[in-house]
Amino acid sequence: MSLTDRLGRATAHLSAPVAVVDLDAFDANAADLRRRAGGMPVRLATKSVRVRSLVGRALDSGFSGVMAFSVAEALWLVGTGVRDVLVGYPSMDVHALSRLVRDETARREITLMIDDVAQTVPLRRALEESGGGGTPVQVCLDVDASLRLGVGPLQVHLGTRRSPLRTPHDVATLAARAEAVAGIRVRGLMFYEAQVAGLPDASPAVRVAKRLSVADVDDRRGDVLAAASAAVGRELALVNSGGTGSLETSSAAPAVTEVTAGSGLFVPGLFDGYRSFRPRPSAFFGLDVVRVPAPGWATAFGGGYVASGPAGRSRLPRVATSGWALTGTEGAGEVMTPLRRRSSKARPLRIGDRVWMRHAKAGELMERFDAVHLVRGDEVVDVVPTYRGEGQTFG
């Protein structure tokens, strides 16, 4: 029985659109991520999951702490019992910061992300308004891990435009200024090499750029860490790096204390082109065919779940039902998604049939559903709420 047939049998009694996660694949992916990290602690990126029960499942399997994508999410997770939460992005959410400084457990368990002294201003005000005292609020400095080749106007920037911190001086200056604020303590550094972790191995040129990037950030990391440690007068305990696509190189890098992964649990469409691991998709959504406008064509209800990032075909869902594809003229529609048969061997789709797709990214799919059905074999073994299903949306 094919994967899509198995999912169809498991969900035949359910209305579509329907989101499912195959637990066998999910658990195998979790084990594979930990194996690829070679014993290095793996922090779970929650934005790539957005289902609290699956976050807990990954933590129970051996992941170490989580990386949240907002302070509000971090507070919610800590309130549910999650511990050691690193917020992956800077925040100017004054209300969430005010809640954090008034909660001793949150102060102890949450580490904020900064890359500019201006980001400490609302935190300093919140600390002052709280009356001071208590456990210091921990911060982590996000260091630019992009690759820059060439000089002057001929310089090429490979990677995200993420952090202004790059040199040891940049990082040491901010570390000293943050540490000087009463109630703030610098815990560590983060280096996210997006051009390695988030870029498929699409060509020899990409693979060369990845190798150059790994060597470059490995060379810079030690000097940056030494400068930051000297600025605060102690060795920093946290050095975070990597992502699903770079676990092997990041975990083997000098000075790194932990790596982060999340998308590898679902393995969305954008991860199909990696050579560093075997893609084993676990998250799918099913749509019902409601029209057959012509032979070799079918139209499904819903499906316009387009991923964030640069607009283009790479951000569209992937059709998992064999032999069928999105059309070039319409793509995935908010209400109607037309499909065209691409193989003469593909089974014709009829009204009432279920078509299976995968999102281009991981956790973004779960923003479209309030519940996800957990499948093992050809049975639904549990139904659990997504973040949205629990009334939680964080941006």
Q: What is the mean pLDDT of residues 230-237?
A: 97
pLDDT greater than 80 at residue 390: yes
pLDDT at 206: 62
Query: Average pLDDT over the chain, rounded to whole?
Result: 92
pLDDT tens per residue, range 130-144: 987 889 999 999 999
End-to-end CA separation in angstroms for the chain: 39
pLDDT tens per residue, range 33-60: 999 999 999 999 999 999 999 999 999 9
Rounded to an integer, what distance in angstroms lies between the CA atom of residue 357 and that of residue 339?
A: 11
Nearest to 229 by CA among 206, 250, 255: 255
**CATH number given to 65-262:** 3.20.20.10
pLDDT tens per residue, range 334-347: 999 999 999 988 99
What is the dihedral sign for C-alpha 271, 276, 280, 283?
Answer: negative
Residue with tokens 């000098």: 254
pLDDT class of 232 with cuts at 50, 70, 90: very high
- Cα torsion 43, 48, 53, 57 to 10°: value is -40
Structure tokens at 290: 């409601």
pLDDT at 21: 98
pLDDT tens per residue, range 261-305: 999 999 999 988 777 778 899 999 999 999 999 999 999 999 999
Using only C-alpha atoms, the chain has a radius of gyration, in whole angstroms, of: 23
The residue among 153 and 78 whose pLDDT is bigger is 78
Q: What is the mean pLDDT of residues 228-240?
A: 97
pLDDT class of 308 with cuts at 50, 70, 90: very high
**Fold of the 283-390 domain:** Lyase, Ornithine Decarboxylase; Chain A, domain 1 (2.40.37)
pTM: 0.93
Domain with CATH 3.20.20.10 in the chain: 65-262
Q: What is the mean pLDDT of residues 108-126?
A: 97
Domain with CATH 2.40.37.20 in the chain: 283-390
**CB neighbours of residue 374 within 10 Å:** 20
Collapsed DSSP state (helix, strand, coil) of residue 270: helix
pLDDT class of 124 with cuts at 50, 70, 90: very high
Rounded to an integer, what distance in angstroms lies between the CA atom of residue 342 and that of residue 334?
A: 23
Say what percent of the chain tops pLDDT 70: 91
pLDDT at 278: 82
